[in-house]
Chains A and B, each alone.
Chain A
Amino acid sequence: MEKNYIPELEQIVNPEDVITSFEERLTYSYDSTRLEYMPDVVVKVQTAEQVSRIMKLANDYKIPVTPRGAATGLSGGCLCVNGGISLVMVEMNKILDINPIDLLATVEAGVITENVGKAVEHLNLFYPPDPGSMKSSTIGGNIAENAGGLRGLKYGVTKDYVNSIEIVLPTGEIVNMGSNTVKAVTGYNLVDLICGSEGTLGIITKATLGLLPVPADRVSILAFFKDMTDAAKTVRDIVAEGVITATLEIVDKVTINAIEDFLKIGLDRTVGAMLLIEVDGQKGAVEIEADIVLKVCKSNNALSVREAKSAQERDKLWEARRAALSSLSRIRPSTILEDATVQRSKMVDLINAVNEIAQKYKMMIGTFGHAGDGNLHPTILTDLRIPEEAEKTEKVIEEIFKATIALGGTLSGEHGIGITKAQYLKLELSRPVYDLMGKIKSAFDPNNILNPEKMKCIWSA
């Protein structure tokens, strides 16, 4: 294929925003999966019009285009699997409007997630989705991957806060979808289709996001249990008692020990599980809910329970949970973070299944995650540079997925399918559903040039 489209790209954006050197392209070849696919060219854009013209050009030349935010994704969503153009959105980072009456913020796609919250905190508002990478990740990437976070149980995920979007279709048209009204049933719910479409159906350039008032009060509770079963029962009972907590995080024994090795903060290494629970809401209501949580913890044989009300005390309680992933990642060179998700009631079964798989393959797996959502992060500690270990890791991942599906769960709660889970898609989706997804893709992208290979399952027996 002739690549004389470079001069044309330089007509569309500033010539210095068309990056072709090997060294610089290499730094746009990866994301948090640590996989690498070299783009042929990296293009930084500043406007939706530029994106539109690039898509038209790409259709003319049949060049693959892969949008890229901060590349913090965990499923390979922004990797240029077939080369082509890496379309970098980070310079579209303006917060365009804040509307405190209707609780909305309109932002460009490259705005950093955390900055949305920072821009509205003076109005006593917040943007609830809080993916782990929120200090670096972009809103466009969050929408494309339908990112979750710690507050999913009570506050939902990214899609619950996307009112309307501006996207550039793979064929180059700039379109608006959704409505900034509280209710809207006009036409298909295309915004929800784009949320989580992993950049395969359109390039998000702008979004109007929902905001909420900051809860007046907040209490954090840290509880330790002899095993994961007691902790999981506690999770079940808290919700059954009618308390929807803002966060309900679980950490297993392997992870507790890893955290203690790393931080040396005096965690009891003999305990089997830790729960970190936060309730928020109106003053008074929070106290009542916190009391219920404390009672439920005790009735499920919690070994110890601590409560924190001030921001400083809360910060201390969160220290261990926050360090979970970094502590695990220091044990072995490769850290494979999965996000298998089941119903809350099946969480103990999934935890047991993961432990059995770990024993069967003699692999170290630390599990922590969003217990309230049944969204666990079994984290496989391995060294992918060693072929036997890589092979074993592959098998462990497949078994975790099979166990998850057998429990009625889903392959991915919040990280996406991308290329890392594409081959397992058929475990969960039926053939007709898969074919329908293919038809949707072709309807949007007849030349299959926008982020090809993502979420693609080769349907073979």
Chain B
Amino acid sequence: MESEVKIKSKKDKYKILEKSDDLYNCSRCGTCLAYCPIYKQTLNESFSPRGKMSLLEAINKGRLEYTDKISEKLFTCTTCNLCKGECPSGVKLDEMINVAKSDLIDAGKYPEVLDILKARIKQAYNITFDSNAGRFDWVKPLPESSPEKYVKKKADVVYFVGCVSSFSPRSFGIPRSIVQDLDSAKVDYTLLGEEEWCCGFPLINSGIKDVIGDLAKHNIEAVKSKNAKLLVLSCPSCYHTWKHEYQKYSDEKIDFEILHISQYLLRLIKEGKIKLNSLSGKVTYHDPCDLGRNSGIYEEPREVIKSIPGLDFVDLASNRKLSNCCGGGGNLESVNQALASKIALAKADEIISTGADIVVTSCQQCNRTIDSSLKKKKKETNTKIKVMDLPELVLQSVKGEEI
């Protein structure tokens, strides 16, 4: 009897119950089937955006409870948001799915990996179990690697590295290139070092909203303590969270400018502070979901590439707001690795078909996923395409070294 009351009281709290009108907006037209990477790989309607909306509407109307199966469907999503952009009825698919994830967290039905992730972030302030003191181990091979050079008391610019680039050796090339790019432009910058905490994106993106406030407050204060006028980020998800989410979760006011590294590099190039030398090759560009569709930054990375003399630029068949997800979004890899890999291979095919020598992206996650899938394709297609992050390409041009 008691458990019944308990369930009922929880059910009353479900936020999806307040979304009747939003859910009714979905006309079940099926446009999303043409875009959803999950549906395209599974051909299973229950994973499609409109399928998810029908399940949530059933819960909203009291026909269904949140079940493990629904949890599986809702968390099987790259959060690439292509469905929302192309929805003719303007359904807020991202918001609905996120609200449902929050409900599922409340209902205790969510992938176990989220508990681990939350514990890591609460204990170590990053997404690994490593001490946050290791935040700038990646500087070690650089000629000048003293902490004093990189972590100053005050600076004009703060570079927020992000957890993946700070701790995953495979991504170290990105921050190493960025500091050298900034050095070449003689920018007065600093890292936050140990005071850089996870931005909170992996949690809010999974519907966990109770930690983000503390992370936001800490991070905003940390940047302010440097008297910085500008915050630069290389991770599109960190950028999105800082730019579009932080002020929803923290009263601590952001009084500095926030730029993604692609925007800042373009500014430095235009101001003549970064000097580019000629390179050769055919280059294509992959729009990361959190940078392009979810933050509206499409042209700056392209302008940076096009400002390097000698490069031949070609767009992917699906680009800008129609960019296909690399498969690395939304924790999908930890929920369903095989599916994430299929999406990544489809992306690799699209990249290979451009005939480019280099695929540039501006996200450490996309970079890693695309690199892996291109390697898997190597045997079959003999592809020699190289994956580079935008700051890496810029550094190559600054140094004038052929790729």
Contact = CB atoms under 8 A, between A and B. Distances in A.
A82 interface: no
Interface string A337-375: 000000000000000000000000000000000000000
A325 to B, nearest CB: 6
B69 A32 contact: no
Interface in A52-72: 70-72
B67 interface: yes
Contacts of B88: 325-326, 329
A22 B34 contact: no
Contact of B29 (A22, A32, A88): A32
B21 A333 contact: yes
B45 A329 contact: no
B27 interface: yes
A26 B24 contact: no
Given A133-B29, A133-B31, A330 B45 contact: no
Contacts of A26: 46, 54-55, 58, 64
Contacts of A23: 46, 55, 64, 67, 69-70, 73
A24 B43 contact: no
B55 A91 contact: no
A21 B58 CA distance: 14
Given A26-B58, A27-B54, A136 B28 contact: no
Nearest to B86: A135
A45 B46 CA distance: 16
B51 interface: yes
B24 A385 contact: yes
Nearest to B45: A27
B48 interface: yes
Nearest to A93: B43
A133 B35 CA distance: 12
A335 interface: yes
Interface in B18-60: 21, 24-25, 27-31, 33-34, 43-46, 48, 50-51, 54-55, 58
Interface string B144-170: 000000000000000000000000000
Nearest to A322: B88
Interface in A91-146: 91, 93, 112, 114, 133, 135-137
A223 to B, nearest CB: 25
A28 interface: yes
Contacts of B21: 333
Contact of A32 (B30, B48, B73): B30
Contacts of B30: 31-32, 70-72, 133, 136-137
A27 to B, nearest CB: 4
A322 to B, nearest CB: 10
Given A23-B67, A133-B29, A333-B25, A112 B34 contact: yes
A238 interface: no
A164 B87 CA distance: 35
Interface string A11-43: 000000000011110111111111000000000
A122 B29 CA distance: 30
B225 interface: no
Contact of B33 (A70, A88, A91): A70
B349 to A, nearest CB: 13
A136 B25 CA distance: 19
A112 B43 CA distance: 12
B403 to A, nearest CB: 30
A153 interface: no
A157 interface: no
Contacts of A88: 45
Contacts of B33: 70, 72, 136
A344 B50 CA distance: 37
A329 B29 CA distance: 11
A29 B28 CA distance: 11
A455 B67 CA distance: 37
A72 B70 CA distance: 23
A398 B137 CA distance: 73
A31 B46 CA distance: 13
A34 B57 CA distance: 12
Nearest to A33: B28
A135 B45 CA distance: 16
Contacts of B34: 112, 114, 135-136
B54 A333 contact: no
B310 interface: no
B89 interface: yes
A71 B45 contact: yes
A34 B89 CA distance: 13
B28 A34 contact: yes
Contacts of A330: 89-90
A168 interface: no
A44 B25 CA distance: 28
A90 interface: yes
Interface in B69-84: 69-70, 73
B353 to A, nearest CB: 12
Contacts of A91: 43
B51 A136 contact: no
Contact of A30 (B25, B28, B90): B28
Contacts of B55: 23, 26-27
Given A70-B33, A333-B21, A24 B46 contact: yes
B342 to A, nearest CB: 14
Contacts of A90: 43
B27 A34 contact: yes
A70 B31 CA distance: 10
* Most B Cβ at <10 Å: residue of A23, A31, A70: A23
A395 B70 CA distance: 38
A86 to B, nearest CB: 10
A22 B55 CA distance: 10
Contacts of A71: 28, 30, 45
Contacts of A385: 24
A142 B31 CA distance: 15
A27 B49 CA distance: 10
B29 A27 contact: no
* Most A Cβ at <10 Å: residue of B30, B33, B45: B45
A281 to B, nearest CB: 28
Contacts of A24: 44-46, 69
Contacts of B51: 27
* Most A Cβ at <10 Å: residue of B46, B50, B55, B89: B46
A22 B65 CA distance: 11
A23 B29 CA distance: 19
A333 B57 CA distance: 14
B54 A135 contact: no
A22 B89 contact: no
A79 to B, nearest CB: 11
A28 B73 contact: no
Contacts of A325: 88
Given A23-B67, A24-B46, A72-B30, 12 more contacts: A22-B64, A23-B64, A23-B69, A24-B44, A31-B30, A32-B29, A34-B27, A71-B45, A114-B34, A133-B30, A136-B30, A333-B24
26 contacts: A23-B46, A23-B69, A23-B70, A24-B69, A26-B46, A26-B54, A26-B58, A27-B46, A27-B48, A27-B51, A28-B45, A29-B54, A31-B30, A33-B28, A34-B27, A34-B28, A71-B45, A88-B45, A114-B34, A135-B31, A136-B33, A329-B27, A330-B89, A333-B25, A335-B27, A335-B89
Interface of A: 21-24, 26-34, 44, 70-72, 88, 90-91, 93, 112, 114, 133, 135-137, 325-326, 329-330, 333, 335, 385
Interface of B: 21, 24-25, 27-31, 33-34, 43-46, 48, 50-51, 54-55, 58, 64, 67, 69-70, 73, 88-90
Q: Which 8 A-B pairs have the closest CB atoms?
A: A326-B88, A135-B34, A27-B51, A72-B30, A27-B46, A136-B33, A24-B46, A27-B45
